[in-house]
A and B are shown apart, each in its own frame.
Chain A
Amino acid sequence: MSHHKLEVKDLHYSYPDDHKAVKGMSFCIYHGESVGIIGANGAGKSTLLMLLMGVIFPSQGEVCVGDVHVTKKTLPMIRKSLGMVFQDPDDQLFMNTVYDDVAFGPRNYKLDEKEVEKRVLNALELVGILHLKDRAPFKLSGGEKRAAAIASVLSMHPDILVMDEPTAALDPKSRRKVMKLLTSFNHTKIITSHDLDMIFEMCDRTIVIKNGEIAADGVTSEILVNAELMDACGLEIPLSLQNCPVCRTKKV
């Protein structure tokens, strides 16, 4: 399954105002991995995601999905195998019914309407909101919106799921639901978040980014407990690993 590999080689990117957002990143993500990408605000996480998805192109270096380079020409193919869930579901759910939104991707690939329907219903069932298919997005709760956004990507049958803050702005129960849902998928997952507890639970591997460079890349359970590293990168160890607020006993 080599085509599920995602490789980043010596990636550089500068914004038009000469701000260097990404400075020489390299890593490789293999099939079935669950990778967390963390870093302080402005560290370059969002820019990295946009580079991965081919929304912007690197000024130097390259991104490869499987054995294909991400270029303007290969974009349609790349985007079939990479699905991205945006941070704000309101940006992703732009149609007026959940059904039309989930069908938007498959329809753009000119599948016949029978196949589209099959995929839509399947995706909605997978995230557990089949009963909401005719609802308007503004009638959904935060958790339901998130599920719909995930379904809109799943209907395209991607191999790799890229998610930007999938648990942001959710109440604890909805957050737990989304986490359970994501764990149930077999896709390769790339998750950026400030919710370090979620990363700790869901990702085996974590990449820490600082000022556009990779500060650490390794096993999550080793990286997230490294208080010194976390502090240097503008982060903290996950709350669940911090001292108990009641009895002050140390956990790590």
Chain B
Amino acid sequence: MANIMNSLYNMRILDDLARQETVIHKLHSLMKLLTTVSYLTVVVSFGRYEIGGLLPFLIYPVMVFTLAELPVKPILLRILIVSPFIIGIGILNPFFDQQGYLLGERVISRGWITFGSILLKSGLTVTAALLLIATTGMDRLAGALRMMKIPRIFVLQLLLTYRYISVLMEEVARILRAYSLRAPNQKGVHRSAWGSLAGQLILRTFDRAQRIYEAMCLRGFAGEYNTGGFKEIRAWDLSYFIGWALFFAVARMYNIPMLIGSLITGVIK
């Protein structure tokens, strides 16, 4: 339970961060979404032995972190917490692929390279997704989705889910508190209360949905969700996206660290 409250807290942090007003925050949400998607696609398209070629892709999160003035710690913590599945699957790589791999002067198992590559990719992709939401926020992202012609019903439903997570979590927290106060020394909810505890919560949720629906109807809702006007895409917004997309393409085609390395070692010689 503490864990989930933590998630809620994290969600609120991201929500707060998204309400800042920096260069990045002011960019058009659709362009940020497109930049993120192209970043993810390119990062993920790298082969499983690639580590070096991925390093230039660190520049994107570093730039966004600094320009958007985001605190590094809460977001990096999220990445650490998040990847048990990744580590669970990746950690087996060294066992299945024990072929030698030459790293500078030392030979290591190639499985470690693929594991490292997966970890790096995981870090980069997770960071990119969190950066998107931390610089855009749910409401502006919903605007971008609408511009991409995602149906209104889905966008509205998405917004409602987001809105009511905190309300329902607090409700559940209250129920569980009441339960545990009267049932000490129990690890979870006893089988005899499974149905009634969760079931009543659902019934109340249905009633709440009914009230929300009424509140919407009383203000003229008739099945259509009207978002108001879209924000205009400025030349600057567009060039932000194109600039990054070009960089990602170049960094995908040329192994930049290798070029730099060859240049330096060549010069030294």
Contact = CB atoms under 8 A, between A and B. Distances in A.
A241 to B, nearest CB: 33
Nearest to B167: A90
B212 interface: yes
Interface stretch (B99-107, B172-180, B184-192, B223-231): B223-231
B220 A105 contact: yes
A198 B208 CA distance: 27
10 contacts: A80-B220, A91-B211, A100-B139, A104-B221, A108-B219, A108-B226, A134-B19, A137-B163, A138-B167, A152-B219
Given A55-B218, A138-B167, A107 B159 contact: no
A153 B224 CA distance: 19
A217 interface: no
B226 A107 contact: yes
Given A107-B227, A136-B15, A96 B220 contact: no
Interface of A: 50, 53, 55, 76, 79-80, 82-84, 86, 88, 90-92, 94-97, 100, 103-105, 107-110, 113, 116, 134, 136-139, 152-153, 156
Contacts of A90: 167
Contacts of A88: 211
Q: Give the interface SS of chain A, mostly helix, strand, loop or mixed.
A: helix
Nearest to B221: A108
Contacts of B214: 50, 53, 55
A91 B208 contact: yes
Interface string B151-185: 00000000110111011000000000000000000
B139 A94 contact: no
B58 interface: no
B216 interface: yes
Contacts of B216: 94, 104
Given A91-B208, A103-B228, A116-B228, A96 B159 contact: yes
Given A79-B220, A104-B216, 6 more contacts: A50-B214, A82-B218, A96-B142, A96-B163, A108-B226, A138-B167
B262 to A, nearest CB: 50
Nearest to A88: B211
A104 B220 CA distance: 8
Interface in B1-34: 12, 15, 19
Contacts of A100: 139
A153 B214 CA distance: 13
A98 B211 CA distance: 19
A76 B218 CA distance: 8
B222 interface: yes
B62 interface: no
A95 B226 contact: no
Given A94-B163, A95-B159, A96-B163, A109 B211 contact: no
Given A79-B220, A108-B219, A113-B229, A94 B166 contact: no
Contacts of A79: 217-220
B222 A96 contact: no
B11 to A, nearest CB: 10
B42 interface: no
A138 B219 contact: no
B198 interface: no
A79 B221 CA distance: 10
A97 B215 contact: no
Interface string B217-260: 11111101011110000000000000000000000000000000
Given A90-B167, A105-B220, A156-B220, A97 B139 contact: yes
Contact of A110 (B15, B19, B159, B226): B226
A108 B222 contact: yes
A104 B162 contact: no
B212 A94 contact: yes
Contacts of A83: 218
Contact of A156 (B162, B219, B228): B219
B148 to A, nearest CB: 19
A136 B12 CA distance: 10
Given A86-B211, A91-B215, A108 B167 contact: no
Contacts of B19: 134
Contact of B215 (A76, A94, A109): A94
Contact of A104 (B138, B167, B211, B219): B219
Contacts of B221: 104, 108
Given A86-B211, A96-B162, A105 B167 contact: no
Contacts of A96: 137-139, 142, 159, 162-163
B229 A86 contact: no
